[in-house]
Chain A
Amino acid sequence: MLEVKDLYCERDDRVLFQHLDFHLSAGQAIQVQGANGSGKTTLLRILCGLNRDFQGDIFWQGKPIQKNQGDFRQNVFYLGHTPAINKTLSASENLRWFCASRGMAGSDGITEALAAFNLQGYDDVPCYMMSAGQQRRVSLARMKLVPAGLWILDEPFTALDKRGVSELENMLSAFVTSGGALLLTTHHPLQMACPLDIIDLDHPGAGEAS
């Protein structure tokens, strides 16, 4: 699905990564590891097309990603550091606009998606009245709403409680087993039912996924 060839990125005269090659196919999960500031978020943002300061080639479904943006955006779900939740809007208003921005009318699915993240009855609660963990759950509920084959998740476990973490782990494993491709960063020790490949940005070349 997603192929990266000889990716090079530097920031403030510091090389974050170079000669980075990997291949992510359907049904595969890759965890990007590295110390703080090692370029994990930068790598994910480069793949998402949000950061363009890089050299190298990225291919989506065999074509250069720049020429295949429409199909890529239709099939990717990105969760960034920030929750992308407007605090003055309610959970369902946030999700409804998210669905609309993806070209979907998701009015029925929203309640189910929120329930999947233990937010039953929070549909119409403004997000500023929720805790950080609940806001995170609203943000995560988006991945239930859009049919994306590739999930790129930046620290998805932040602010979640223990039960939330294990539920999310189960959800991610189920997604990968059902043929989804997953790329994530986390500092949390993962216990996933599916096999997990590692890209280590601290020790380039050591544990790269093939």
Chain B
Amino acid sequence: MSTIAPMGLGAVMGATMRREMLLALRSPGDVINPLMFFVIAVTLFPLGGGAESNFLSSIASGVIWVTALLAIMFSMDSLFRADYEDGSLEQLLMSPQPLYFLLLAKVFSHWLVACLPIIVLAPVFASMLSMPEVARLPLVLSLLVGTPILCLLGAIGMALTVGLSRSGLLLAVLVLPLYIPVLVFGTGMVEAAQGGLPYTGLLALLGAILILAICLSPLAIAAALRISVN
């Protein structure tokens, strides 16, 4: 035991993120599935709704935001499931390190794995849906700020339902009402930019929600996990 040196909080968060990244690398489905869902769903809209560019550009921001939101919601299932089943979650809850930061590291890794690829691809699909070029940067910005909120809120719902075997629908019922403001501000911001209006106000609003979510949701996730392992 003499070889064991104490670690700082940053190193503990780093180690947690390293573990999550390794897990994502070993089971790439967790990265690819949400991305594939996003790609397929967005591609189907021009096929099903008509390829007229005026029509497409009017629904583009909504389509991209809604499919990204659903893809993220479906991806949440992998966040705590394996840890709950193999007992790692109990060890996490018994860790002497502040759970707040461990959970924040976990959710942030999930965002990197599940959301970042979607954000990177979003401008490509925006041009496929004939979204005007001026709106593409606001789209990426809105997703960059908005999707971490979706991950944090989704993690609360997932933490509450991880003990149930079929939690998919219940998760949707719990989480979707919380997602709606983010969706409204996100699409509103892109539409404002599309119409040539200033969008920084809505971006600031999303940023404020994100800060609030970062501050509060780890506490809610921790409380929900304690209920779930009970």
Q: Chain A: residues with CB nearer than 8 A to chain B?
A: 48-53, 70, 73-74, 76, 78, 80-89, 93, 96-106, 108-109, 112, 126, 144-147
User: What mask results when residues 97 to 122 of chain B are scored 1 for a CB within 8 Å of chain A, else 0?
Assistant: 10000100000000000000000000
A86 touches B4 (CB 8 A): no
Known: A82-B87, A100-B11. A73 touches B22 (CB 8 A): no
In whole angstroms, how far apart are the Cα atoms of A144 and B19 in the complex? 21
Contact A97 B11 (CB under 8 A): no
Query: How many of B's residues come within 8 Å of A, CB to CB?
Result: 34
Tell me the complex Cα distance, A96–B17, Å.
12
Across the interface, do A73 and B3 meet the contact criterion of CB distance under 8 Å? no
CA distance A76 to B95 in the complex (A): 10
Report B225 CB to chain A, min CB distance, Å. Answer: 10
Tell me the chain B residues, 51-98 only, with Cβ under 8 Å from chain A. Answer: 82-83, 85-88, 90-97
Q: Are B4 and A49 in contact (CB under 8 A)?
A: no
Does B6 make an interface contact (CB < 8 A)? Answer: yes
Say whether A86 contacts B5, CB under 8 Å: no
Query: How many pairs of A and B residues are in contact by the CB < 8 Å rule?
Result: 108
| A43 to B: closest C-beta gap in Å | 14
Are the CB atoms of B96 and A86 closer together than 8 Å? Answer: no
Find chain B residues with CB under 8 A from A146 CB: 4
Could you tell me the distance in whole angstroms from the C-beta of A142 to the nearest C-beta in chain B?
8
Q: Enumerate chain B residues within 8 angstroms of A53, measured Cβ to Cβ.
A: 230
B97 to chain A, nearest CB (A): 5
- Whether the Cβ atoms of B26 and A109 lie closer than 8 Å is no
B229 at the interface (CB under 8 A from A): yes
CB-CB under 8 A for A84 and B91, given A93-B22, A105-B7 = yes
Question: In the complex, which residues of chain B have a beta carbon less than 8 angstroms from the beta carbon of A101?
Answer: 12, 15-16, 91-92, 95, 97, 102
Could you tell me which residues of chain B, from 175 to 194, have a CB within 8 Å of some CB in chain A? none
Q: Does B23 contact A88, Cβ atoms closer than 8 Å? A: yes
B47 close to A (CB within 8 Å): no
Nearest to A52 among chain B residues (CB) is B230
Contacts of A84 in B (CB 8 A): 86-88, 90-91
What is the CA–CA distance of A98 and B22 in the complex, to the nearest angstrom?
A: 14
Supply 16 A–B pairs (Cβ within 8 Å), ascending by A.
A70-B96, A73-B94, A84-B91, A87-B86, A88-B27, A89-B19, A89-B23, A100-B11, A100-B12, A100-B15, A100-B16, A100-B19, A101-B12, A104-B4, A105-B6, A112-B3
